């Protein structure tokens, strides 16, 4: 039969281009360059600018946390501001009531947030994407009210909030407190970014993405989706919570109204704009969350939110894989051209 | 005079996969054309292509007017009623509501009510089930409902996708008998897709035999029915 | 005892508002399987339009009708412009667009109309309380208006061809196209109706809670809770759920937790329903779109 001849040919499997084998010295140089770029602001920037950059690093960390559960695992959370708030309050309460050192509060804050994330992750198991978004949205809206409540006022300081003091830099370092806080935020974030990067590239990371893309198939392949999803929530909450701890000590103040649902929305917007399911995207997300509202305010004093929302929608329409995706595509095009 | 429906070099596919590779076929006014072929030959795809449910290439004309590239709802509004594969019942709605939806595009309530009666004449069982939720009907009743819904559009062209599918032989006989009446009384052209070739060839004037998206045999249904070799190699009975 | 009765009746009055917003949410959910997070902001915006019209000298009910019409048009426009391009995108994209919409509409409201809290007139002013002090004129009037709107919506969906077509398009878009229903427009119409119902809710609640750009945030939460309690795919359930949540909230506010934790009560109801009975009281089993 003649028909068989014209059956479309099986597409030839294109081999993935080999990863550019970078020489060790090149890698080393890159790392050094990166390190230099990360440290340079300490010496270059004014103290307010450095403070802003510190906050951007912290926001990047918080976005990373959200990305783990929403980007990589597909569980949409609109309430990560709650974990950020709990982390901030954990550190603030321990430092101001218990005179703990900042470093000592970090493990506690991490544990509390992980536990809370685990607790939220359980009902989340029963909720499809949209219901989870709705529930976490409600959580985000309710947070300030809970923080203000009388029953815990002695600890949280109620509406007034709590003041705390930045840790002093070690005496052998010729840095002031702001510069030291930048280093601390950078160091803590770098460690968590590395750990997350490893997590995502591991078996667990692939399982998380498989659950996101095809939950039925993932389950059929024997993945314990329930355990993985709740743990993803716990890890995600922990990372965002630690960002909260850092944020509290950098700003030296926590109060209920600074943790409204605007924080959760910012993190969500940061994730989308930076790049959903992208580690590097979280960094762009952090920079965006911190700097764009300021820039937007310069364009129009009255309504940065309008511009914020418009940017979010524009990205969803035009660049759904975010800034990181754009860079990736540009890099791919550049490589193609170079290879030709 | 032009045929009621004419397809010229019709191509279609899903995503990257082409399913139809240039079909030419026609349905005459008041005529019945059958599309035959094995599973996966592209019969259902052809019906979907005619009423714009998938992206197509080539030309499709309804009474001389191009309808390819138009939206499904616009093609329906031009008088093409499709009884789809799986019957397309609105399960959550009642039988009455399903029928009202069939007549959705027609403004004249009195005419529609008269057509309700006509349809009940073909399928008296639907009258008994009138207020019942359509999802609770049996397969045969759902097929009747699907045909009724299509008729209530007052179509010029009726596309029928495997009306015998999944039904008991007696019910199939009943439905085909009624379709003969419909054909005589309603003056519609019918494009019929059927796996049951003998049934379809009895009913149709023209027949086309599809294999992997191409027409391999075509001609008057009676000739094809008589052609021993075609029957043996393609139709398997 | 009178106190309890009044709390109960006041709960019904606010419950009517929740029921309207819940109905708006459920209408969009039924048509698109999405929950519009910006529903509250859209309603607030509409209420400000009404206030502007009233301050421009229009009689209350003229402003009321105009606002409903304008809100309907805005709802349709939003669906056409913002939702249509992403209709086949993943859930995350939809949630993102809703959040973007919430930011835009919410901030636009403050930008255009200012951030100060404003008094919004009620058409049901009465001296004191009616029926031996049980209910205020506005409570009674707004409940009647709400019930009338709900009844109209019900009649529209049950007894008109267009309403039937909208339900059909939601249940089975492919078959709907085959009978000639313009499915895309049905979705837009659903958005328009939801925006119109939301506008009525906004105008009815504004005299009670006063009008400011964040007026509806808490109400939206209660509406979510009501919609879930009744079953998010069941309009009648949403209405009953809305009323139930209103009564529950008022009683809890008066006798159990006080007003400080009102939002938390909503959160508790939402989580409670989702954990104990995700399909709600009257809904079919919830299919999650993961």
Number of domains in chain B: 1
Q: Contact partners of B by the rule of 3+ C-beta pairs under 8 A?
A: A, C
C38–chain A Cβ distance below 8 A for any pair: no
- C207: domain CATH number is 1.10.3470
- B188: domain CATH number is 3.40.50.300
What is the Rg, in whole angstroms, of the alpha carbon atoms belonging to chain B? Answer: 17
A278 in Cβ contact with A322 (< 8 Å): yes
- Cα A318 to Cα A325: distance, rounded to the nearest angstrom: 11
Q: Least CB-CB distance to A306: which of C108, C224, C275?
A: C108
Strand partners, B203: none
Question: Which of B15, B19, B20, B21 is most worth mutating to test chain A (most A CB atoms within 10 A of its CB)?
Answer: B21
User: In chain C, which residues have pLDDT < 70?
Assistant: 1-2, 126-134, 257-259, 283-290
CB contact under 8 A, C178 and B88: yes
- Cα C235 to Cα C154: distance, rounded to the nearest angstrom: 8
What is the complex's ipTM, to 2 decimals?
0.91
What structural domains and CATH numbers belong to chain A? 47-339 (1.10.3470)
Q: In which domain, by residue range, is B130 found?
A: 5-235
Confidence at residue C129, expressed as pLDDT on a 0 to 100 scale:
63
Q: In which domain, by residue range, is C163 found?
A: 2-7+11-276
- Cα C190 to Cα A304: distance, rounded to the nearest angstrom: 30
> Where on the phi/psi map is residue A206: left (φ > 0), alpha (ψ -120 to 50), or beta?
alpha
Q: Least CB-CB distance to A305: which of C107, C270, C286?
A: C107
Neighbours of A190 (CB within 10 A): 15
CB contact under 8 A, A309 and C100: yes
The tokens of A207 are what? 């399982």
Q: How near does any CA of chain C get to the CA of B129, in Å?
A: 19
- For residues A184, A187, A190, A194, the Cα torsion angle rounded to the nearest 10 degrees is -130
User: In chain A, which residues have pLDDT < 50?
Assistant: 1-18
Q: Nearest-CA neighbor of A251 among A88, A93, A101?
A: A88
Query: Residue C289, Cα to own-chain centre: how many angstroms?
Result: 23
- Three-class SS state of C41: helix
Q: pLDDT tens digit string along B211-229?
A: 999 999 999 998 988 888 8
Nearest chain A residue to B215 by CA: give it. A3
Which residues of C sit within 8 Å Cβ distance of B?
161, 164-165, 167-168, 171-172, 174-183
Q: pLDDT tens digit string along B134-179?
A: 989 998 899 999 999 999 999 999 999 999 888 888 889 988 998 8
- Cα C270 to Cα C276: distance, rounded to the nearest angstrom: 10
Number of domains in chain C: 1
Is residue C284 domain-resident?
no
Q: Nearest-CA neighbor of B188 among B80, B65, B40?
A: B80
Give the pairing of strands B56-62 and B65-66.
antiparallel
Mean pLDDT value of segment B11-31: 91
The tokens of B69 are what? 């590239």
B38–chain A Cβ distance below 8 A for any pair: no
Q: Nearest-CA neighbor of C170 among B2, B233, B91?
A: B91
What is the CB-side half-sphere exposure of residue B10 using CA atoms within 13 A? 31
> Where on the phi/psi map is residue C233: left (φ > 0), alpha (ψ -120 to 50), or beta?
alpha
Q: How near does any CA of chain B get to the CA of A178, in Å?
A: 56
Residues of B in contact with C182 (CB under 8 A): 71, 73
Mean pLDDT value of segment B101-111: 92
C215 in Cβ contact with C208 (< 8 Å): no
Confidence at residue A87, expressed as pLDDT on a 0 to 100 scale:
95
- Cα C97 to Cα B199: distance, rounded to the nearest angstrom: 53
Count chain A–chain B contacts defined by CB atoms under 8 A: 10
Nearest chain A residue to B216 by CA: give it. A3
- Cα C267 to Cα B137: distance, rounded to the nearest angstrom: 42
Angle between helices A129-148 and A80-97 (to 10 degrees): 30
B154 in Cβ contact with B115 (< 8 Å): yes
Query: In C25-55, which positions are buried (b, 16+ CB within 10 angstroms) versus exposed (e)?
Result: bbbbbbbbbbbbbbbbbbbbbbbbbbbebbe
Residues of B in contact with A6 (CB under 8 A): 21
Question: Which of C158, C162, C176, C180 is most worth mutating to test chain B (most B CB atoms within 10 A of its CB)?
Answer: C180
Which residues of B sit within 8 Å Cβ distance of C?
51, 53, 71-73, 76-77, 81-82, 84, 88-93, 97, 100-102, 104-105, 149, 153
Q: Contact partners of A by the rule of 3+ C-beta pairs under 8 A?
A: B, C
Strand partners, B133: B94
CB contact under 8 A, B18 and A8: yes
Confidence at residue A6, expressed as pLDDT on a 0 to 100 scale:
41
């Amino acid at each position: 039969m003649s028909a068989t001849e014209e059956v479309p040919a099986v597409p030839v499997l294109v081999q993935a281009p080999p990863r550019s084998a970078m020489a060790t010295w090149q890698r080393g140089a890159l790392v050094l360059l990166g390190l230099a770029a990360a440290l340079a602001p300490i010496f270059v920037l004014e103290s307010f600018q450095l403070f802003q950059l510190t906050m951007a690093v912290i926001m990047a960390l918080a976005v990373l946390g959200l990305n783990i559960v929403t980007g990589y695992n597909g569980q949409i959370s609109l309430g990560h501001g709650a974990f950020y708030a709990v982390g901030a309050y954990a550190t603030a309460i321990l430092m101001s009531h218990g005179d703990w050192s900042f470093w000592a509060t970090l493990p506690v804050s991490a544990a509390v947030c992980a536990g809370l994330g685990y607790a939220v992750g359980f009902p989340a198991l029963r909720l499809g994407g949209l219901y989870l978004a709705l529930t976490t949205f409600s959580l985000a809206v309710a947070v300030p009210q809970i923080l203000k409540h009388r029953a815990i006022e002695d600890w949280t300081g109620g509406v007034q909030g709590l003041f705390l003091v930045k840790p002093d830099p070690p005496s052998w370092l010729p840095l002031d407190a702001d510069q030291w806080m930048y280093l601390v935020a950078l160091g803590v974030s770098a460690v968590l970014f590395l750990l997350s990067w490893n997590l995502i590239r591991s078996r667990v990371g692939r399982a998380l993405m498989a659950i996101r893309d095809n939950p039925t198939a993932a389950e059929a392949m024997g993945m314990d989706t329930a355990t993985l999803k709740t743990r993803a929530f716990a890890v995600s909450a922990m990372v965002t919570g630690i960002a909260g701890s850092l944020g509290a000590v950098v700003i030296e103040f926590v109060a209920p109204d600074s943790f409204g649902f605007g924080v959760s929305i910012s993190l969500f917007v940061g994730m989308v704009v930076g790049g959903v399911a992208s580690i590097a995207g979280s960094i762009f997300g952090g920079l965006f969350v911190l700097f764009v509202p300021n820039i937007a305010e310069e364009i129009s004093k009255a309504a940065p939110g309008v511009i914020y929302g418009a940017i979010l929608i524009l990205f969803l329409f035009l660049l759904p894989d975010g800034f990181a995706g754009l860079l990736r595509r540009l890099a791919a095009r550049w490589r193609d051209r170079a290879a030709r | 005079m032009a045929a009621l429906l004419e397809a010229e070099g019709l191509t279609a596919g899903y995503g990257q996969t082409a399913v139809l590779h240039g079909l030419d076929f026609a349905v005459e006014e008041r005529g019945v054309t059958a599309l035959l072929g094995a599973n996966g030959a592209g019969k259902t795809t052809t019906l979907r292509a005619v009423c714009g449910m998938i992206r197509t290439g080539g030309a499709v004309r309804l009474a001389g007017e191009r309808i390819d590239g138009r939206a499904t709802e616009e093609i329906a509004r031009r008088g093409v009623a499709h009884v789809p594969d799986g019957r397309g019942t609105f399960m959550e709605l009642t039988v009455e509501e399903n029928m009202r939806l069939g007549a959705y595009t027609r403004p004249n309530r009195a005419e529609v009510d008269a057509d309700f009666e006509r349809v009940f004449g073909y399928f008296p069982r639907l009258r008994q089930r009138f207020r019942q939720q359509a999802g609770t009907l049996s397969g045969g009743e759902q097929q009747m409902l699907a045909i009724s819904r299509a008729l209530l559009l007052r179509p010029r062209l009726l596309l029928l996708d495997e009306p015998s599918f999944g039904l008991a032989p007696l019910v199939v006989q009943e439905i085909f008998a009624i379709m003969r009446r419909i054909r005589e009384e309603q003056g519609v052209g019918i494009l019929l897709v059927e796996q049951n070739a003998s049934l379809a060839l009895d009913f149709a004037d023209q027949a086309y035999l599809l294999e992997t998206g191409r027409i391999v045999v075509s001609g008057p249904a009676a000739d094809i029915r008589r052609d021993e070799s075609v029957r043996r190699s393609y139709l398997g009975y | 005892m009178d106190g309890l009765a009044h709390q109960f009746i006041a709960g019904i009055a606010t419950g009517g508002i929740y029921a309207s917003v819940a109905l708006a949410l459920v209408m969009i959910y039924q048509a698109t399987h999405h929950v519009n997070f910006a529903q509250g902001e859209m309603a607030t915006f509409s209420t400000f339009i009404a206030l502007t019209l009233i301050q421009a000298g229009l009689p209350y009910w003229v402003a009321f009708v105009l606002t409903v019409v304008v809100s309907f048009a805005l709802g349709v426009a939003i669906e056409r412009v913002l939702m249509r391009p992403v209709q086949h995108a993943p859930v995350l994209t939809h949630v993102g667009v809703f959040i973007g919409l919430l930011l835009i509409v919410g901030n636009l409201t403050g930008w255009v109309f200012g951030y100060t809290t404003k008094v919004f007139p009620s058409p049901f002013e009465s001296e004191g309380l009616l029926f031996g002090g049980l209910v205020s004129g506005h409570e009674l009037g707004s409940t009647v208006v709400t019930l009338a709107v709900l009844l109209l919506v019900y009649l529209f969906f049950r007894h008109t061809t267009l309403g039937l077509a909208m339900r059909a398009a939601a249940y089975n878009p492919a078959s709907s196209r085959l009978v000639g229903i313009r499915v895309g427009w049905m979705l837009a119409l659903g958005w328009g109706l939801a925006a119109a119902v939301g506008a009525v809710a906004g105008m009815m609640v504004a005299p009670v809670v006063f009008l400011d750009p964040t007026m509806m945030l808490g109400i939206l939460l209660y509406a979510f809770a009501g919609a879930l309690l009744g079953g998010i795919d069941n309009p009648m359930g949403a209405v009953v759920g809305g009323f139930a949540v209103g009564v529950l909230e008022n009683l809890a506010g008066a006798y159990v937790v006080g007003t400080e934790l009102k939002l938390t009560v909503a959160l508790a109801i939402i989580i409670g329903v989702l954990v104990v009975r995700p399909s709600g009281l009257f809904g079919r089993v919830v299919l999650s779109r993961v």
